[in-house]
Structure 1
Amino acid sequence: MSAARLPPLPSIRDILKLYRLNAIKRLSQNFLLDQRLIDKIISKSGHLTGSQVLEVGPGPGGLTRSILKQVPKRLVVVEKDRRFKPTLDMLADSFGAINGQMDIIYDDITKINLENLFPMEEKRDWDDKNPDIYIIGNLPFNVSTPLIIKWLHAIAERRGPWAFGRTKMTLTFQKEVAERLVADVSHHQRCRLSVMAQTWTFPVLRFIIPGSAFVPKPDVDVGVVSFTPLVKPRTQHDFKFFEKITRHVFSFRQKYSIRCIETLFPLDCRKELGLMMYKLSDLDPKLRAFQLTVHDIDRLATAYKYLVEKHPEIGLYEYHASRHLLPLSNTRDIVIEDYVETPEEMSI
């Protein structure tokens, strides 16, 4: 069975009028009412028939209806706004009428243990094919970026939905954010978010939805992005450690990247240690941040880790808190010649 006919239901537009459900600005709510576009999002999400699906922020249930038509084994929706309870209950009852299971959780998605939502029989080895678990969401703009960073961290540590294997996601973002997630080397949108997403997943921009398709109409268009976790991440470094290096790399976008890397170190030894990192990484210090590949940044992270292992006091320095830290006494004793001839000692 590839699709199901739900019992007759009022349209989403009629439901919004019936229950007087206006979008709340502080929650960045925008409702997608175009059924053609809704079905297109779901069709790009994967083969949902017989699968476990988590929908984030269903709102009045536009995407929910399209998901249910694909007859997943089970659909779990997480909604923060309880005003949508009548319409979500209506959908759950309708799906139950065709022997389906739809569970509704009224909570903040960032506070839920997602690992508890799926049965253990769905678990697969990381290098096996993707599990029959899918995450789908038309996310509010104020949630989407912090949430994808949180989930990329979970992917890196293989926890939450990724404790079951390489669970796929299809999510909506503000068009500019969507373009950043997939931006390649030297693209004008290339940034920290691009590197973090592409280090642990293969993100694909599926299509752009015009803002006019939403109610109320946002000031920007919306991009639909799918994420497939990589079998082998493009770094072996810890997520937070790698994110720290990437954050510094993109701290001054238009300057040479070495000027950004120098902010990892105290002012009195900044230029020497920055140059040392580039020597160890065998990179041109005049490259801009957006010209660096994931592999380049991984090499810089490895060089920094090597220096910290040799001189632990370096790792204590924090650029934004530097005024409150004591000077690092012996970093002036570090000379480039001690390191540039032995990069093979670096821990890859």
Structure 2
Amino acid sequence: MIYLDYQATTPLAPEAREAMVRWLGGPDSDHFGNPHSPHRMGRMAAAAVEVAREQVAGLFPPGGRVIFTSGATEAINLAIGGGRYGPVACSTIEHAAVRDSIRWFGDGHDLPVGPDGLIDHDVPIAADTRLVAVMQVNNEIGTIQPVEAIARRTRAHGAWLLCDAVQGAGKLLPPASADLIAVSAHKLHGPKGIGALWVRDGIELSPITHGGGQEQGLRSGTLSPALCAGFGAAAQIAFERRAEDTAHVEALWARARELFAGWTLNGSAEHRWHGNLNIRRDGLDVARLMSDCRNVMFSAGSACASGSGRPSHVLKAIGLTDRQAKSSIRLGFGRYTTIDQIEQAGAQINAAAREQGV
């Protein structure tokens, strides 16, 4: 099978797997302790968690703290629900984790985007806004928002900036001027089930779940040393390989653009992470295409929305009709994708599209 769905999840890095195995423990091991226990095994586990915390901190700017969570969705909920801000402004192409959290915890204001997926700077921020949520890289169309410019505008308004950096973490430089940043390990070759919220020094949050308060008083529940270790190793490798990974993705992008030259690109070609290729062919039956190309793993819209039968809210927000949105596919590739895989997938997808006469 050919895996081209890197926005949904990424293959686990061998280095991350190796780091995790030691802390999975077993009856003959001394590496299964509860990191919140005061005895020697607990302290060993706690030390492993703190090593991982320092590795993950490399994904973020200086001047803040890393809070481990179950993933970016929990991190976003903690950032929005733990601040008690009042109305929150966000772009119309934010992930559902942001948009649904805003609706749950209070009111929100939309910041529209243009056809390229970039936020319209001419739209004012509502006067009562105290938190603005803008993602670094869009998960569906790959648009890279000018986060630093948005942060300056947000700060001038007297508000904080929450950045969903799930798709950019480990690939791009961190959003240095953000106040809260959410990331997820499994989008950068780490394990599923763990993420982090970075909180700038001086910002105080309240917990949204209650119990033992194990994670800095903000998140109750026993931390998994194995997941933390895997996340830490993946973060360190991403930091060390960023230039190499970027060059590889650029080569994959260039070849993919050649192979899909007859397709229309959704979103900006310039302000975009090139590991995301969201394209369309008018009249394409995507469900049939996916059935005909079942050996190629790709998405119709975002993985979170696939199967809902609804057009992507992101593609609608950039001006596509329902018909155009439903004729779009997303190909995602990265570190472990080969040129040969891109070429094989291109041949299969183009042949299946021709069979449909589009």
TM-score, shorter chain, exceeding 0.5: no
Relative to the length of structure 1, the TM-score reads 0.27
Relative to the length of structure 2, the TM-score reads 0.26
